[in-house]
Chain A
Amino acid sequence: MTVHAIEATAISKKFGNLLALSDVNFSVANGETFGFLGPNGAGKTTTIRILTGITVPTAGTATIFGHDIVRETIAARRQMGIVHETSNVYDDLSAWHNILFASELYNVPRSAGERRGKELLELFGLWERKDDRVKVFSKGMKRRLTLAMGLVNDPRLLFLDEPTSGLDVQSNLIIRDVIRELTGQGVTVFLTTHNIEEANLICDRVAIINRGQIAAIDSPERLKKTIQSVQSVEVAFDPSSPKLLEHLRELPLVSEVRKEGDKFRLITEDPSGVIENVTTYAREHHTRIISMTTIGPSLEDVFIRLTGLMIRVKGVKAID
């Protein structure tokens, strides 16, 4: 029998009368990179808190490499590293003392902890600053240190809660490289993120959770195929004008138009028909097409479709 890295079975969680999670089922294979996507308040953090044994589910079970997280909490936690959503490092300690504390908490022997700590601080570009108090670190440096602390026990399973949210480019690149390296070494990664493109690039499979329920679980490419009707044509004009948006909405075969930077994205079920219509429009209105590309559905489109969210100019509106 295959032992999954994570096996969540019929998990539900109630806070008073609020049902935060309802009958959540999924499994994550050993070595897999699994993305957990959902809008704010969908139940991502509650799921992570249950899987890491911080919170107890109201119903259902979860196992980590076969260890029940409620009954065998410590054995399950020994397999995992956790990088919480907030960079929960000790500001009044140096980076070195932070990482040594994490290694002591995970019962890594002193010499091994020091060796691993040095490796990780070097890997994350923090070795030169190891004796500085963390309170003077930038947000990106704190995030890198948090990730380093999560890896100090060489976990088989790594929980990453929004690892790159709001970070500078350098920190982002370092963290993504490290995640790729870890997955290359066979470490299982459970990633929650708002960054759908990040999940698309990194994850073998993603689950989309909405209002406490799993809406879909599959590989990013398979999920995209489920909504082939959401194809689009991306076009840029010269000159561009605000009136274009209104005119493009009136073109036949176009169901929706979004302005994305200096381009327009025309959602359609018939891209070739839309290309003809746009070409005709440009000729008739004496405007030049700079570029035009057909685009298949993105993971973001899947997310929007499944979570019932549609981004509008004036905010977020539910469409279901």
Chain B
Amino acid sequence: MTDLNESCGQLCRELKAAWAIAKKDIRIYYLKPNIIVSGMLFPLFMFLAFAIGRDAPPTMLVPGLIAITILFSASSIEPVSIPIERRTKTFDRLLSAPVSLHSVVLGESMSGFLYSTGIALVPLSAGIILFSTPIVQPLALIGGVLLTSFCFATMGTLFAAYPTESPGDIMSMLNLVRLPLIFVSGVFIPVNALPQIGQIAVLFSPLTYGNDLIRAGFEGTTHFNPLMDVLAICVFILLFQVAANHLYRKFNE
């Protein structure tokens, strides 16, 4: 019983510390110019580049815009904040605090998650207000937005493990992954319309499953089973978390 109490107490302390880290990031980084450009403007211009001139209905375009907004905004906080904190040595403060590395990774990911969830409301509201896009499965939409946000926030934290003090180094590496993901996730080109190799590649992209759930919110149908979407995103989150923990530990040695 004492062990159980101690474990619960430690879990509570860990979660509080993770939340403190997320709050700190919210206060400091949300309005940094490079985060606004990378997290808000970049996906908007990407979307416009694809959408303008295409005769596609809003129910086709709005889910795609939400998905890429989440991809870019969720993964933009940590690749900026962590290298800056390495440079100012404030990251050592987190690494030497009486909390596990899991909580540090979780706290960092939470700030990206909250940022992205908030930003996703912009295209969502635009879709509803400007294009009268109907939401037919709200649960799938909410689940898709939340899970995808957390997944890509964790991916951002994972990339930020690379031991550099320059955000540009991480952003370059991250874009090597983020940009191809847009083309192999059914965001703009439906999965069915992709060539055979593309249809295999989509299985390895977390954006595929997030996009599938978000699209289900508007269209009511999914390419994969919704439970498989949820499970696949959860597996990616777990993989990113474990890999991030491993890399932060390794690079600190």
Binding site for B on A (CB under 8 A): 52-56, 74-75, 77-78, 82, 84-86, 88-93, 97, 101-102, 104-107, 149
How many interface residues does chain B have, given as a range?
A: 20 to 34
Contact of B17 among A84, A97, A104 (CB under 8 A): A104
B95 touches A88 (CB 8 A): no
Contact pattern, B 228-252, Cβ under 8 Å of A = 1, otherwise 0 = 0000000000000000000000001
A77 touches B89 (CB 8 A): no
Q: Which residues of A contact B93 (CB under 8 A)?
A: 82, 84, 88, 102, 105, 149
Q: Which of B2-48 contact A (CB under 8 A)?
A: 10, 13, 16-17, 19-21, 23-24, 27-28
B98 touches A90 (CB 8 A): no
A105 touches B20 (CB 8 A): yes
Q: Do A93 and B24 contact each other (CB < 8 Å), given the known contacts A55-B253, A106-B97, A107-B17?
A: yes
Contact pattern, B 60-100, Cβ under 8 Å of A = 1, otherwise 0 = 00000000000000000000000000001110111111111
A88 touches B27 (CB 8 A): no
A90 touches B253 (CB 8 A): no
Q: Which residues of B contact A84 (CB under 8 A)?
A: 89, 92-93, 96
A90 touches B24 (CB 8 A): yes
Q: Which residues of B contact A56 (CB under 8 A)?
A: 253
Assembled-state Cα–Cα distance A90/B24 (Å): 9
A104 touches B20 (CB 8 A): yes
Binding site for A on B (CB under 8 A): 10, 13, 16-17, 19-21, 23-24, 27-28, 88-90, 92-100, 252-253
| B36 to A: closest C-beta gap in Å | 15
Q: Which residues of A contact B89 (CB under 8 A)?
A: 84-86, 88
5 CB < 8 A contacts A-B: A77-B96, A89-B90, A93-B27, A104-B19, A105-B97
A54 touches B20 (CB 8 A): no
Q: Which residues of A contact B88 (CB under 8 A)?
A: 86, 88, 90-91
B27 touches A52 (CB 8 A): no
15 extra A-B contacts, CB within 8 A, seeds A75-B98, A102-B93, A149-B93: A52-B96, A54-B92, A55-B252, A85-B89, A88-B88, A88-B90, A89-B90, A90-B88, A93-B24, A101-B20, A101-B24, A104-B17, A104-B20, A105-B20, A106-B98
Contact of B28 among A77, A88, A92 (CB under 8 A): A92
B94 touches A54 (CB 8 A): no
The residue in chain A whose Cβ has the minimal distance to the Cβ of B12 is A107
Q: Which residues of A contact B90 (CB under 8 A)?
A: 88-90
